[in-house]
Amino acid sequence: MLEVKNLQVVFPNGNEALKSISLSAERGEIIAVIGRSGAGKSTLLRCINGLQAATSGEIILDNENISGMGQQQLRLVRRHIGFVWQEYNLIERLPVITNVLTGRLGYNRGLGSLLGYFDRTHREIAINSLERVNMLHRASFRADRLSGGEKQRVSIARAIAQEPKILLADEPVASLDPELSLQVMSDLARVARDVGVLTLINIHQVELARQFADRIIGIARGQVEFDGEPGALTTSVLDRIYRFDHQLTPVVSSVTQFEAEANSA
Ligand SMILES: Nc1ncnc2c1ncn2[C@@H]1O[C@H](COP(=O)(O)OP(=O)(O)OP(=O)(O)O)[C@@H](O)[C@H]1O
Ligand SMILES: [Mg+2]
């Protein structure tokens, strides 16, 4: 279903965010991606979504090679990729139901979509998605009236309304308190299981990863350091994933140098 082969991303400033990532995943798997800040988790998801171009390597989603695609093709593929953002990315002034319907935009072509008109099938899918996250009672609320946890549930509904082949979530609970984090992760995992969609979740809370994912991928320094069941994530493995990266030291010294230069100027 998803095949990532030797994925490398080097940014124009020479920063190698991903060194060589390889993984494969099947329909229905729920995978938590963990790792230190800067390990490359977001870059990996952005590559799968086609928002970030790979320097080398391949990403194959459902037999289509995403890494070699132009913008137009990517737009078509992206309608099958659900994305849940840390900051929800809802259209704040619009009602909840309209926000969820935007998940159907990729399927709603022509004049209808320009006028914001969605036929019955689209509406039924949107309503069904809201029901899955227990938010149907808020369908006519403006998005900016919702609490953080409710907003994230709506954004999960929007992603599910896309009927995605893959669902990507980049730190979906990082803006929520511990209790809500638990609830929203639980909703996300339950909905993903119900619809059987392959799901990748970047997350900093290791305990939530263990609790809700079938599989955990630990990334360190742009490489896969661990890939296995939550039960195999021992403290020594965690130490390897979260170990202080001595390679970062030169960055610190160049900042010091920069400050010294600034002071002497
Ligand atoms: N546009 C960019 N140009 C240069 N370097 C970048 C760019 N975007 C990200 N990076 C660097 O790439 C590395 C990986 O970043 P990424 O955002 O993927 O990490 P992350 O694991 O998601 O971190 P966090 O947990 O803080 O979200 C970091 O060193 C980051 O500074
Ligand atoms: Mg990130």
| DSSP result, 59-83 | EEETTEEGGG--HHHHHHHHTTEEE
Question: 132: closest CA among 212, 194, 196, 201?
Answer: 194
Tell me the torsion sign for CA atoms 103, 104, 105, 111: negative
Ligand 1 atom at minimum distance from 44 CA: 18
Residue nearest to ligand 1 atom 30, measured at CA: 38
For residue 237, pLDDT over 90 is answered with yes
Q: Is the CB of 43 under 6 A from ligand 1?
A: yes
Side-chain-facing half-sphere of 46: CA atoms under 13 Å: 13
Distance CA(205)–CA(173), nearest Å, equals 9
Distance CA(9)–CA(23), nearest Å, equals 15
> Which tens digit of pLDDT belongs to each residue from 85-116?
999 999 999 999 999 998 887 766 655 555 55
> Which tens digit of pLDDT belongs to each residue from 165-179?
999 999 999 999 999
The pLDDT of residue 260 is 54
Helix (H) or strand (E) holding 130: helix 120-132
Q: CA 225 → CA 24, 45, 264, distances in Å?
A: 15, 17, 43
User: In this structure, what CATH number is given to the domain that contains residue 74?
Assistant: 3.40.50.300
The DSSP bridge pattern shows strands 166-170 and 81-84 to be: parallel
185 within some domain: no
121 within some domain: no
Tell me the torsion sign for CA atoms 1, 192, 6, 235: negative
Total structural domains in the chain? 1
Q: Is the CB of 222 under 6 A from ligand 1?
A: no
Q: Is the CB of 10 under 6 A from ligand 1?
A: no
64 within some domain: yes
210 within some domain: yes
Residue that is written with structure tokens 């039960």 in the block:
231
Residue nearest to ligand 1 atom 2, measured at CA: 11
For residue 253, pLDDT over 50 is answered with no
6 within some domain: yes
62 within some domain: yes
205 within some domain: yes
The pLDDT of residue 67 is 86
Could you tell me if 166 and 48 are in contact, meaning their C-beta atoms sit under 8 angstroms apart?
yes
20 within some domain: yes
Residue that is written with structure tokens 């993903």 in the block:
192
Range of the domain at 19: 1-80+199-265
